[in-house]
Amino acid sequence: MNKPCASGRTVGGLRTLSLQAPAVTLLLLWMIVPLGMTLWFSFQRYNLLMPGVTGFAGLENYQYLVTDPALWTAMGNTLLLVGWVLAITVIGGTLLAVLFQQDFAGRGIARVLAISPFFVMPTVSALVWKNMMMHPSNGVLAWLFESVGLPAVDWFSSLPLTSIVIIVAWQWLPFALLILLTAMQSLDEDQVEAARMDGAGPVAIFFFITLPHLKRAISVVIMIEMIFLLTIFAEIFVTTSGGPGLATTNLAYLIYIRALLDFDVGTASAGGVIAIILANVVAIFLVRMVAKNLED
């Protein structure tokens, strides 16, 4: 049926607006007020421990932050965290999606099991891994390593960031798997069969047919993960508290330290602004992609 234009009858702009008003107003407030305040505070001298010190600080907070080696360690950790988790989840997720797309006995249940970690709350994940899996003497991993003659690893002491990466990747791999598996199911079987008739083996089919089909879903996964991974908090809060030293402090945790432990509102706000800018850079790409999707 060829319809040249949406026959959506616009019932007076007013009616449409009033239905959208609550949602839009609330989100507007939610965006402007705290955001504005963060911005404002970032230019103020404001430390809850030193109530007497107030006044416009200009770029002081930013200068302080930028010259603080802690910030750069935190940024580096953030990058490492995000980078590693992205790599593991996207590559792992794609391969697992291919695997779980195949027909095998009990596939449904296996899928459900593989997806589970994503629904576990972060505090539980972190503590289960820290204690029961990674504990250097009583943990399952220690027991496994010793059974094959290898020394047990004290994960959180010697490889703190890696430990966090493992925990977060474990939670988000199922997310990538879920999304990519769903996207795979829209792959036209006919295409695959045509390729097979053309002589393509499984590897060729993966690279020439599956991967291009998944391109958009993979980009969505990367972008959504990036936005959430930039602000990993609970796992660090509950296991290492950023330590040892600053080894597992990411940007989010650093801001937390400055805000709620040091009570240095000014600096924390400056850090917050940086985090917001970072997130927005990624967000622009995601928004553009979803916008393209809206066209369809």
CB 206 within 8 A of CB 93: no
> For residues 100-119, which are near another protein according to CB under 8 A?
100, 102, 104-107, 109-119
Q: How far is CA 128 from the centre of its chain?
A: 20
5 lies in the site for another protein, by CB under 8 A: yes
Q: How many residues form the binding site for another protein (CB under 8 A)?
A: 114
91 lies in the site for another protein, by CB under 8 A: no
> For residues 200-219, which are near another protein according to CB under 8 A?
201, 216-217
Residue type, 137: S
Q: Which residue of 26, 79, 87, 150 would you call a contact of another protein, by CB under 8 A?
A: 26
> For residues 167-196, which are near another protein according to CB under 8 A?
170, 173-175, 178-179, 182-183
Residue type, 136: P
> For residues 124-163, which are near another protein according to CB under 8 A?
124-133, 138, 140, 143
For helices 69-101 and 211-229, what crossing angle results, to 10°?
Answer: 150
Q: Whose Cβ is closer to another protein: residue 178's or residue 209's?
A: 178
Q: How far is CA 179 from the centre of its chain?
A: 14
**DSSP E strand stretches across the chain:** none
> For residues 231-260, which are near another protein according to CB under 8 A?
231, 233-234, 237-239, 251-252, 255-256, 259-260
Q: Which residue of 51, 52, 121, 190 would you call a contact of another protein, by CB under 8 A?
A: 121
Per-residue burial over 179-206, b = 16 or more CB atoms within 10 Å of its CB, e = otherwise: bbbebbeeeeeeebeebeeeebeeeebe
Q: Which residue of 70, 75, 80, 120 would you call a contact of another protein, by CB under 8 A?
A: 120
Q: How far is the CB of 193 from another protein (least distance, A)?
A: 14
Pairwise CA distance, residues 282 & 70, whole Å? 23
38 lies in the site for another protein, by CB under 8 A: yes
Pairwise CA distance, residues 31 & 179, whole Å? 28
